[in-house]
């Protein structure tokens, strides 16, 4: 289902329509048959927050201190720091992205060792991601690899609540 951006961009262009076609253009490795937009667009949370189940703020260890970052975790943009951030939520390193009963999995992406994105596995084996300032989508995991988000960095897991 295509969904428009819900907030108007300023100026004469007004609402800008962004949908599945635009997502597939930005992420050409995605399997279109496994892709679905699952929320309205919102800038209130980002992919890291969404992966951790937080929908009311952005998570990021930026030096300007705009983003939320867990207390006690180094505020630096490294995969290790992101791993530590999710250890505060009870996640531990995991070797496989395969669906496992009783386990909730998170996948981190990186470009040149700088984290770019996180996705969370769904009970049906697909993954869910907040794409930047836009939508939540359900998708195949490796379909997000490419120019925008780089490559998979690591997988973490915790027992399902």
Partner 1 sequence: MNLFRSVSSSRYCDGSITASIPAGCYTDSSTDDVDIFYKLLRQWRMETLWISSITEAINRPAFKKIVKMGEKVLPLILEEISVQPDLLVAALPIITGEDPVHETDRGNLPAMAIAWTEWYREHRC
Scan residues 95-154 and list those touching partner 1 (CB under 8 A): 114-118, 130-134, 148
Q: Which of 35, 52, 60, 82 binds partner 1 (CB under 8 A)?
A: 60
Q: Which is nearer to partner 1, 16 or 159 (CB)?
A: 16
Query: In this complex, which beta carbon is closest to partner 1, that of residue 81 or of residue 103?
Result: 81
Three-state DSSP state, 111: strand
4 in Cβ contact with 18 (< 8 Å): yes
| Minimum CB distance to partner 1 smaller for 47 or for 156 | 47
CB of 33 to partner 1, least distance (A): 21
On whether the CB atoms of residues 15 and 5 are closer than 8 A, the answer is yes
Q: How far is CA 46 from CA 31, 124, 130, 135, in A?
A: 22, 23, 6, 10
Task: Report the residue number, 103 or 148, with the smaller CB distance to partner 1.
Answer: 148
Beta bridge partners of 118: 108
Binding mask 13-52 for partner 1 (x = CB under 8 A): x--x-x-------xx---------------xx-xxxx---
Other CB atoms within a 10 A radius of the CB of residue 121 amount to 22
Which tokens hold the place of 124? 């049906």
Report the distance separating Cα 150 and Cα 159, nearest Å: 28
* Interface ranges with partner 1 (CB under 8 A): 7, 9-13, 16, 18, 26-27, 43-44, 46-49, 56-60, 62-69, 77, 114-118, 130-134, 148
């Amino acid at each position: 289902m295509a969904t428009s951006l819900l907030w108007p961009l300023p100026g004469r262009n007004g609402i800008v329509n962004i949908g599945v076609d635009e997502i597939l253009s930005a992420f050409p490795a995605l399997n279109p048959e496994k892709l679905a937009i699952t929320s309205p667009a919102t800038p209130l949370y980002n992919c890291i927050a969404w992966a951790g189940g937080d929908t009311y703020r952005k998570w990021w260890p930026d030096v300007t201190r705009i983003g939320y970052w867990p207390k006690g975790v180094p505020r630096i943009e490294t995969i290790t720091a992101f791993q530590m951030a999710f250890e505060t939520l009870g996640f531990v390193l995991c070797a496989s992205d395969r669906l496992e009963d009783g386990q909730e999995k998170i996948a981190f992406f990186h470009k040149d060792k700088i984290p770019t994105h996180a996705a969370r596995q769904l009970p049906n084996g697909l993954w869910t991601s907040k794409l930047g300032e836009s939508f939540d989508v359900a998708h195949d995991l490796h379909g997000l690899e490419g120019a925008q988000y780089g490559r998979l960095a690591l997988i973490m897991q915790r027992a399902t609540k």
